[in-house]
Amino acid sequence: MRIPRLIPVAALLLAAAAATACGESQAKKASRQLARRNSCVAAELALSAKERAAKLDTQMVATQGSPLNSVLQASAQFSTAYRQYADAYSRSADLADSAASAPARRDSAEYAKQAAQARPVLPVGGTVEGNAAARFTADMEAALNNPDHPCNKPDDDGDG
């Protein structure tokens, strides 16, 4: 049947028409969508980092006293630095998403201010923290450029 296939398309067109009728510019809509995608990807990377850190902690306990433990300690340091940067970036991205989606300018400005304050400082390159931040940035870029990534799919309200 063709009608069920047309329903999502019709919903997207209605949502776009409503956004246009409400006065939302294409630039504002694109900015809001990018903020949503950044927040989504950052949250996924932060969750993944927490899971990796937990697995490494378990492996370190299991290998205590063995030569493998020192290798795992180096991995754990990197994992901890990555997780901390990912958590901070995710908090900042969530606030930026709230700023882009806030209906009132005053709320938007307050969220934007909080997002800027929460944004992590890029660590010095060549350090464990700097390398972890660089890896996070590369992971963000790869996810945002992947058309099959779930965060790059349209939302149900047609805003993706």
Q: For the residues 131-146, what does the mean pLDDT come to?
A: 96
Structure-block tokens of residue 111: 């969220």
Structure-block tokens of residue 123: 């660590």
Query: Tokens 């990018």, residue?
Result: 34
pLDDT band at 34 (very low <50, low <70, confident <90, very high): very high
126: phi > 0 → left, psi -120 to 50 → alpha, else beta; which? Answer: left
Structure-block tokens of residue 6: 């047309």
Structure-block tokens of residue 94: 């969530």
Per-residue pLDDT tens digits for 74-90: 899 999 999 999 999 99
Per-residue pLDDT tens digits for 36-46: 999 999 999 99
Give domain limits for the chain.
Answer: 26-152
What's the gap between Cα 106 and its chain centre?
A: 24
Q: For the residues 1-7, what does the mean pLDDT come to?
A: 40
Question: pTM score, two decimals?
Answer: 0.77
* Rounded CA separation 56/72 (Å): 7
Lowest model confidence (mean pLDDT) among 10-14, 53-57, 64-68, 129-133: 10-14
Q: How far is CA 103 from CA 111, 141, 156, in A?
A: 12, 28, 19
How much is the pLDDT for 23? 60
How much is the pLDDT for 10? 37
**DSSP state at residue 160:** -
